Structure 1
Amino acid sequence: MPEYRMPPEWAPHQRTWMAWPSSGYTLGEQPDEARATWAAVARAVVEFEPVSMVVDPDATDEAARSLDPRVEVVEAPLNDAWMRDIGPTFVLDGNAPAAVDWVFNGWGGQQWAQWDKDANVARFVAEQAGVPVVSSPLVNEGGGIHVDGEGTVLVTRTVQLDPGRNPDWDQARVEAELRRTLGAERIIWLERGLTRDYDEFGTRGHVDIVATFCAPGTVLAHRQDDPEHPDHDVSRTIVELLREAGLTVVEVPAPRATHDEHGPVDYSYINHYVVNGGVILCGFGEPEADARAAAIMADAYPGRRVELVDARPLFARGGGIHCITQQQPAA
């Protein structure tokens, strides 16, 4: 029987997978802004490791004009562009790579979402990568899990136990499936995610905007210092839970901006992406706060260069840098 294990994000990568925005709310009323932001993230990542961009056939010309020529373009039909969620979760069986294909249903069947094409992306990427597929009946997304590579997994109750995702699953069944697919030995359940993530275009609580491992036993956790922001209490509760679980917690303060035209924002430096030799960090146009977060990341990931990319257009669309990237570990 295979024994799958998901390596931590800081383990060596073979490449990064992304998907190009070509339709729907991701493009929104400012499609050039979306394309420029995805291209900027790809350009930052390709300085450290190869990048493969899945592009809808109708958007190939636009992608070619926008992307760094070092980025490999592969064509496949797409609804959306959040590769962390629609793509596979890569794991290892010993030294042999494999790709977990979770069921994807538009973040719990969101009314605005379409996923007839995106539901096939994980298998397509696995085929392109030349690795076997591990089929899972669990409705899940890559943004809903974080691992330390030694058997501990972070999840949130409002994602894996979401009635729109897994209405007939209980905690025990979810944990059994995470053991089978990721090699989980310990699952730490957070009660919820950040407030904005429960709005119309949110994921209902993805962990990758809240907390992430930076080393075994150590997590980076979001901290909202404004007592008037709803995430002030949310983030404090999450930090307390993580410490009660015996983890070392490094708190990462949010930037000063707390609201946009739609209400409280969920700007979070936790939604960064670790690459070979670097960290691609969300920037929010606040030099002091961005520099403080970059210094924390430099300490958390010794020997890696921290590169900031303005992530405000991503957050306006419901995600961040981690949400649009997916690592393929080196075998």
Structure 2
Amino acid sequence: MQRTSRFVARYFMPAESAIHERTLMAWPAASSLYHNQLSAARSEVAAIANGISRFEPVTMFASPADTQGLRSQLNANVSIATISVENLWIRDSGPVFAISSEGDIHGLDFSFNHWGGKAPRSEDVALAREVLALANIPRVDAQVRAEGGGLEVDGDGTLLVTESCLINSNRNPELNKVEVEVRLKRALGVEKIIWLKGVRNADTTDCHIDALARFASPGTPATLVTTGRMG
């Protein structure tokens, strides 16, 4: 039985540059957002998976109706897992993994709602829960709504986020900034949060942090600078 914890204690989200076991990807379903670009999207996803698989294992999640012919497009180091999934954005819709002080993996579920309802509701609302159940990894309700692309940690106690994404009525209408910050610190095991303003409605995500700034190393963010107007 899958275990569910209400709060995260003594857990932290590693930096994206940390050593990890594998990469998780999602195969675009026929019912996904890509419509007449579906074939091109699938070709790109397969190419990315095959490229990554030269260096580490990859798991490709695919809807049961979309697995026909998939094996022939992927290298042997890419495994296929059948699950209810529609869109390729598993970074946002899937679980965020946290590590306990004992070294155990837990999966944070940030209650994906299609970027504040900017895309049609799909099977992906339950993707984090289903991935964790399939992998038999304990699920943790993060108690705040976010997406993986909106969270940037340095692995040493600091988190980068944007206000436009998280302090937004389309995701966390019942929470103020202080409450969001408390829940993020508790879920991700960080001590310091750096808030960038971001730009609401600049894109589907309301300006995820990964479009603006990333950590080059612990405590050292690198940011995008442009002379043009975003949005």
Q: Normalized against structure 2, the TM-score is what?
A: 0.90
Q: Which has the higher helix share?
A: 1
CA-CA distance at 1:148 after TM superposition: 0.5
- Choose 183-192 or 118-127, whichever is displaced more: 118-127
Q: Which has the higher strand share?
A: 1
Distance in 2 between the 1:86 and 1:62 partners?
A: 25
- Identify the residue that residue 21 of structure 1 maps to in structure 2: 28
Amino acid at match of 1:13: H
Question: Runs of 5+ in structure 2 lacking a partner?
Answer: 1-7
Q: 1:23 to 1:190 in 2, by over 3 A?
A: farther
- 1:149 has 2:151 as partner: no
Distance in 1 between the 2:18 and 2:29 partners?
A: 31
Residue of 196, 206, 211 corresponding to 1:204: 206
Residue of 167, 184, 192 corresponding to 1:161: 167
**% identical aligned pairs:** 36
Mapping 1:165-184, distance limit 5 Å = 165-184=171-190
Contact 1:5–1:183 at 8 Å: present in 2 too?
yes
Amino acid at match of 2:113: N
Distance in 2 between the 1:25 and 1:92 partners?
A: 32
- 1:76 has 2:83 as partner: yes
Distance in 1 between the 2:148 and 2:11 partners?
A: 16
Distance in 2 between the 1:104 and 1:158 partners?
A: 16
Cα RMSD, aligned residues only? 1.8
- The secondary structure found in structure 2 opposite 1:14 is coil
Contact 2:9–2:187 at 8 Å: present in 1 too?
no
- Identify the residue that residue 136 of structure 1 maps to in structure 2: 142
- Choose 21-30 or 207-216, whichever is displaced more: 21-30
Mapping 1:201-280, distance limit 5 Å = 202-224=204-226, 227=227, 229-231=228-230
Moved over 3 A (4+): 23-26
- 1:59 has 2:63 as partner: no
Contact 2:57–2:78 at 8 Å: present in 1 too?
yes
Q: How many residues align?
A: 223
Q: Normalized against structure 1, the TM-score is what?
A: 0.64
What do residues 162-202 of structure 1 show as CA deviations (whole Å, max 9, x unaligned)? 11111111111111111111002111111005x8x624xx2
